[in-house]
């Protein structure tokens, strides 16, 4: 069994080296597919970071009537915190709202003088609500309009942010679907090229394959070298794709840092390199094995 296994590896390497030009072309196509796959991962990280940053800046505020008691506001806050759609709720009293307003306009002398002449605080107490997902804001807004809460509410700011929230949802969906579609297309192209390469390798070695079949060689023994060839395509393509990608990320990283300060792309790449290599190997080897398995399977059925 061990001898058979090593023979399969040996024949697989021979097939790989005999078809050098075809192997190079196949690896080139698979490298492109793997670069798209890795690009999808990095794009997903960038997108999630940007969306998370935007989500932290988006909330809806509920402003309460001046006649609403603080106990009622705190009760409503407690019920909101119990909703599965709600990530956090912050209570801002009238006094806190006035203090925030003063700090925000500290350099505006006109507004500062006007505030100093006030005899009563005109600002309203409010709750700032952040949802777990942008799509949850509509449900939260609907909840705030129910009969048990609406009598205390002066206004809800959801309508002002609805357009931004809706665009954020569309951007997220489009980015995910577009990236996934591109990765699938490139994977199919790489699989097709690998499939044809294996078919040509089988054709060039058809006499050896026929002899093995005549002398009673098992399908496993016949199929094995071509599966090894597919694995070699995947391993080499995975390593080459990371070698190509590393300098690209290094030079692009300062520009992404300027746009997205929350993420250092080069640090992320270096820190996650072992995991990314595993992803590339699994994806590349998977492409190679599936393509080889289908190609030799069609031949063995003939």
Using one digit for the tens of pLDDT, what is the confidence trace for 28-43?
Answer: 877 887 887 788 788 7
d(CA 285, CA 162): 45
> Averaged over 158-183, what is the pLDDT?
69
Please, is 33 exposed, middle or buried when counting C-beta atoms within 10 Å of its C-beta (0-12, 13-18, 19+)? buried
Q: Copy the structure tokens of residue 236.
A: 């080499």
pLDDT of 301 above 80: no
Q: What integer pLDDT is reported at residue 138 of this predicted model? A: 82
Q: Which fold has domain 59-159?
A: Alpha-Beta Plaits (3.30.70)
**Summary mean pLDDT of the chain:** 78
pLDDT at position 194 over 80: no
Q: Is the pLDDT of residue 279 over 90?
A: no
Q: How far apart are CA 111 and CA 113, in angstroms?
A: 5
CB atoms within 10 A of CB 62: 26
User: Please, what sign has the CA dihedral across residues 167, 171, 177, 181?
Assistant: positive
Q: Which two tokens stand for residue 239?
A: 């390593």
Q: Are 271 and 232 in contact (CB under 8 A)?
A: no
Nearest to 38 by CA among 290, 289, 276: 276
Question: What's the whole-number mean pLDDT along residues 238-265?
Answer: 88
69: left (phi over 0), alpha (psi -120 to 50) or beta: beta
The predicted structure's pLDDT at residue 168: 67
CA torsion sign, 121 to 124 to 125 to 126?
negative
- Cα→Cα distances 159→151, 198, 295, Å: 19, 59, 57
CATH 3.30.70.3040 residue ranges for the chain: 59-159
Kindly report the length of the chain: 302
Name the token pair of 74.
Answer: 């705190």
Evaluate if pTM is beyond 0.85.
Answer: no
pLDDT, tens digit, 9 for 90 and up, residues 128-157: 888 887 778 888 888 888 888 888 888 887
Q: Alpha-carbon distance 115 to 102, whole Å?
A: 8
Question: Is the pLDDT confidence value at 247 over 90?
Answer: yes
Radius of gyration of the chain (CA): 31
pLDDT band at 243 (very low <50, low <70, confident <90, very high): very high
pLDDT over 80 at 16, yes or no = no
Predicted confidence at residue 248, as pLDDT, reads: 92
Given a contact cutoff of 8 angstroms between Cβ atoms, the answer to whether 231 and 285 are in contact is: yes
Q: What pLDDT does 287 receive?
A: 76
For residue 44, pLDDT beyond 90? no
Query: What's the rounded mean pLDDT across residues 12-39?
Result: 76
Residue 62 β-bridge partners: 127, 156
pLDDT band at 208 (very low <50, low <70, confident <90, very high): low
């Amino acid at each position: 069994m061990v001898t058979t296994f090593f023979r399969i590896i040996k024949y697989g390497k021979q097939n790989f080296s005999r078809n050098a030009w075809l192997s190079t072309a196949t690896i080139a196509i698979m490298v492109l597919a793997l670069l798209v796959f890795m690009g999808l991962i990095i794009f997903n990280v960038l997108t999630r970071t940007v969306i998370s940053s935007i989500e932290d800046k988006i909330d809806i505020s509920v402003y309460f009537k001046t006649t609403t008691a603080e106990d009622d506001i705190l009760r409503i806050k407690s019920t909101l915190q119990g909703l599965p759609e709600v990530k956090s709720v912050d209570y801002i009293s009238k006094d806190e709202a006035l203090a925030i307003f003063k700090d925000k306009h500290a350099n505006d002398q006109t507004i500062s003088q006007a505030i100093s002449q006030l005899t009563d605080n005109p600002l309203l107490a409010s709750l700032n609500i952040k949802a777990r997902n942008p799509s949850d804001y509509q449900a939260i807004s609907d909840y705030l309009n129910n009969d048990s809460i609406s009598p205390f509410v002066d206004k809800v700011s959801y309508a002002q942010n609805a357009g931004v929230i809706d665009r954020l949802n569309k951007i997220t969906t489009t980015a995910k679907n577009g990236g996934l579609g591109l990765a699938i297309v490139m994977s199919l192209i790489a699989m097709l090229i690998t499939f044809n390469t294996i078919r040509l390798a089988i054709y060039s070695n058809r006499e050896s394959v026929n002899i093995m079949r005549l002398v009673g060689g098992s399908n496993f023994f016949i199929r094995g070298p071509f599966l090894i060839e597919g694995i070699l395509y995947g391993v080499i393509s995975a390593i080459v794709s990371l070698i190509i990608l590393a300098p690209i990320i290094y030079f692009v990283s300062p520009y992404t840092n300027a746009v997205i300060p929350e993420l250092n792309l080069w640090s992320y790449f270096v820190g996650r390199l072992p995991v990314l290599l595993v992803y590339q190997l699994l994806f590349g080897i998977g492409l190679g094995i599936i393509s080889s398995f289908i190609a030799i399977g069609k031949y063995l059925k003939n």
